[in-house]
Amino acid sequence: MKKLRICFAGTPAFAAAHLQTLLKAGHHVVAVYTQPDRPSGRGKKLQASPVKQIALEHMLPVFQPSSLRPLQETETLASLDIDLMIVVAYGLILPKSILDVPRLGCLNVHASLLPRWRGAAPIERALLAGDKVSGVTIMQMDEGLDTGAMLTKESVPISATDNRIDLEEKLQIAGQTALTRTLNDLEKYQSGATVQNDEDSNYAAKVEKAEAFIDWRLSAPQIDRQIRAGIGRNPAYTLLNDQRLRILEGSVSMGNYNAEAGQIVASEKAHFTVSCGSGALDVQRVQLPGKKPATVKDISNSRPELFSRGVAFDRKQPK
The residue ranges of every structural domain in the chain are: 5-204, 209-302
CB atoms near residue 116 (< 10 Å): 21
Which bin fits 118, alpha (ψ -120 to 50), beta or left (φ > 0)? beta
pLDDT (tens digit per residue) in 182-216: 999 999 999 999 999 999 999 999 999 999 999 99
Ordered DSSP codes for 176-187: HHHHHHHHHTHH
- From CA 13, how far away is CA 27, in angstroms rounded? 19
The binding site consists of: 112-115
Q: What is the mean pLDDT of the chain?
A: 96
Cβ atoms of 167 and 231 closer than 8 Å = no
The binding site for (6S)-5,6,7,8-tetrahydrofolate consists of: 112-115
- From CA 235, how far away is CA 245, in angstroms rounded? 10
pLDDT category at 1 given cuts 50, 70, 90 is low
Q: In the predicted model, what is the mean pLDDT of residues 11-23? A: 98
CB atoms near residue 82 (< 10 Å): 23
Which pLDDT does position 41 carry in this prediction? 75
Cβ atoms of 74 and 98 closer than 8 Å = yes
Which pLDDT does position 44 carry in this prediction? 83
Task: Report whether pLDDT(308) > 60.
Answer: yes
- pTM, two decimals, is 0.95
Task: Report whether pLDDT(296) > 90.
Answer: yes
pLDDT (tens digit per residue) in 220-275: 999 999 999 999 999 999 999 889 999 999 999 998 898 999 999 999 999 999 99
Q: Is the domain defined by 209-302 classed in CATH 3.10.25.10?
A: yes
Which pLDDT does position 304 carry in this prediction? 87
Cβ atoms of 131 and 110 closer than 8 Å = no
pLDDT category at 314 given cuts 50, 70, 90 is confident
Cβ atoms of 309 and 267 closer than 8 Å = yes
What superfamily would CATH give domain 5-204? Formyl transferase, N-terminal domain (3.40.50.170)
Same fold, 5-204 and 209-302: no
Name the packing angle between helices 50-57 and 13-24 (round to 10°).
30
